Structure 1
Amino acid sequence: MNKPPFYVVSDGRLVLHLEPAEEGGYVVTSPFDPALITEAETIEEAFELAEEVTQELSEARAKQERRTRKSFRARNGSKVTRRKSPTRA
């Protein structure tokens, strides 16, 4: 059996991969963030939910980074510094 078609859509900020779900609506993922997975009934809802998931993932990653830094400092007794990205000209 052939897989159903999928769609790649963008609102200028997010790029989403929409695959029709068997039960209706879409399974929503992002080609740039494998952790972004949700389901939506419409394309508009897909962007709304993807924005929410993106925010939640960002918060969870920041929290994990803080935990990792705290754990590292506890083990090593030193400060952890973040590398600065080179400035673009």
Structure 2
Amino acid sequence: MNVVERAKAPTPKFFRVLRTIGLALLAVSGSIVAAPATLPAVVVTVAGYAAVAGGVLSAVSQVTVDEDVKLEKELVKRLQKENKNLPRDGIK
């Protein structure tokens, strides 16, 4: 499974929450770094590290795959393909 397939695959709920937290951390730290006001160097440095942590957290959470959902979708797709040409009993 390549990176694009992993990014498109379903993500477990726990990692969706972590991804959202990472994006929020990234947004807050980005706004602190880009603030036009003069802030102490420690605050800007911590915001820079928080931005990196938020980006990594979001990226790792996005490529985590929920194998159960993925296997279930593949099974449903395969069954639909196999049942496509079966005779119908008048039931739709």
Global fold match (TM > 0.5): no
Task: Tell me which interval the TM-score lies in, with the shorter structure as reference length.
Answer: 0.3 to 0.5
Taking structure 1 as the reference length, what is the TM-score of the superposition?
A: 0.35
**Larger relative helix fraction:** 2
Taking structure 2 as the reference length, what is the TM-score of the superposition?
A: 0.34
Larger radius of gyration: 2
**Larger relative strand fraction:** 1
